[in-house]
Amino acid sequence: MEQRQFLLGQKDIPRQWYNIVADLGEAPPPPLHPGTKQPCGPQDLAPIFPMSLIEQEVSAQRYIDIPEEVLDILALWRPTPLYRAIRLEKALGTPAKIFYKYEGTSPVGSHKPNTAVAQAYYNKQAGVKRLATETGAGQWGSALSMACNFFGMECTVYMVKVSYFQKPYRKSLMQTFGATIYPSPSEKTQFGRKILEQSPDSPGSLGIAISEALEDTVTSQNVKYALGSVLNHVMLHQTIIGQEAKKQMEMAGAYPDVVIGCVGGGSNFAGLAFPFLQDKFAGKNVRALAVEPASCASLTKGKYDYDFGDTAMMTPLLKMHSLGSGFIPPGIHAGGLRYHGMAPLVSFLKDRGQVDAVAYEQLPCFDAALTFAHSEGIIPAPESSHAIRAAIDEALKAKAEGKEKTILFNLSGNGMLDLSAYEDYLAGKLQ
């Protein structure tokens, strides 16, 4: 029996987050104030985030300690397993070795709690009573609802309307943790009402939902905002994934030639890839590949320039690959990838040629998800199926070239609450 599982114990949970900014050799372009177009100071962000998270957002310190209270909760499911996909390798007939880090073992089924728990903790420390946020497919909303529940805080979630109806069980999951959910655009905010007036049938978008959550935040007392991706502190919190994976690859006696993750805002990709990029900056030969949906291809098609993070143009301007803050992506099932922009850090690395990107249509990704499920038994989240598609294509390329190759991808979540997407796929209803 060949070794498939590479498991760590509770003592192996990383004690620090890795901040890639320390190893970039130059400061990445700062966020700009939307009015003055000058770099944002900490005070500009203070109405929406607690100071501890703002400090992490602008930090250039290489390692940042993870608070004990956060580790205590992460230990409910971390370290996550790393597997070698031997049955998938055989099914493809490839000489490549395929490994995957499985983040779907968290209580809500994705990597998102890694940052949700940290963000809830720092807000609790700052005396915040309620967090407001947006969610697409509901993965982020579920993670933050769970985290707020752990720290005794209220949680309000603006859920992109198309997903609210596509994924009703994620809504129930959030409600079980005590959160309040509104389909966005909603009647709850001025901005939501404005959108509904202009287009009553608006499917919503992450950009619109972010605007609603921000409006709720700045018009309420003792409420802060939490974002599940894109920002530097979110990338930071996710780096426990890659730090664990490096130890696990060592246990496997292997090192990846290519590290792959799907990208919506960039956080699960960054979480896995940044600790390997640290090795790359030190001279190691490793390629980082970000995979996005062709229908919302910010990294491969978007412009690298300053843009707003939301539709109402309330956020600071971020230098990122973007399709424009007014872009409403089509209702593909990988709801977590339907964001117009990309993390500034991932964008910066892409611009410097240190991150590669590829875009895939939805159907070949579902084909890959089924190939994966048939051999490894796990139903992947539709978002993660993009990473699987790229991993399979890398493995098939190795086969065609008769070359050995080690591939590592992030299985960012399971698809057990996305079965309606599989139903549509199996019924031939997806284009």
Residue numbers at the binding site for ligand PLP (CB under 6 A):
110, 112, 139-140, 229, 262-269, 336-337, 381, 383-384, 412-413
Residues 6+ positions from 30 with CB-CB distance below 8 Å: 39, 40, 58
Min separation Cβ 47 and ligand PLP, Å: 24
Q: Of 257 and 383, which CB lies nearer to ligand PLP in the complex structure?
A: 383
Q: Of 132 and 234, which CB lies nearer to ligand PLP in the complex structure?
A: 234
Q: Considering only CA atoms, which of 206, 133, 148, 218 is closest in space to residue 178?
A: 148
Min separation Cβ 2 and ligand PLP, Å: 28
Q: What CA–CA distance (Å, rounded) separates 168 from 275?
A: 36
Q: What CA–CA distance (Å, rounded) separates 18 from 24?
A: 13
Q: Of 263 and 365, which CB lies nearer to ligand PLP in the complex structure?
A: 263
Min separation Cβ 6 and ligand PLP, Å: 21
Biggest alpha carbon distance in the chain?
A: 63
Instruction: Label each residue of 312-344 as H, E or C.
Output: CCCCCEEEEEECCCCCCCCCCCCHHHCCCCCCH
Which structure tokens are listed for 104?
A: 């779907």
Q: Of 19 and 410, which CB lies nearer to ligand PLP in the complex structure?
A: 410
| SS3 assignment, position 166 | helix
Min separation Cβ 230 and ligand PLP, Å: 7
Min separation Cβ 81 and ligand PLP, Å: 16
Min separation Cβ 400 and ligand PLP, Å: 29
Q: Of 307 and 383, which CB lies nearer to ligand PLP in the complex structure?
A: 383
Q: Which residue number is nearest to ligand PLP in terms of Cβ?
A: 413
Q: What CA–CA distance (Å, rounded) separates 78 from 72?
A: 10
Q: What burial letters (b/e) apply to 337-353, b meaning 16+ CB within 10 Å? A: bbbbbbbbbbbbbbbee
Q: Of 31 and 89, which CB lies nearer to ligand PLP in the complex structure?
A: 31
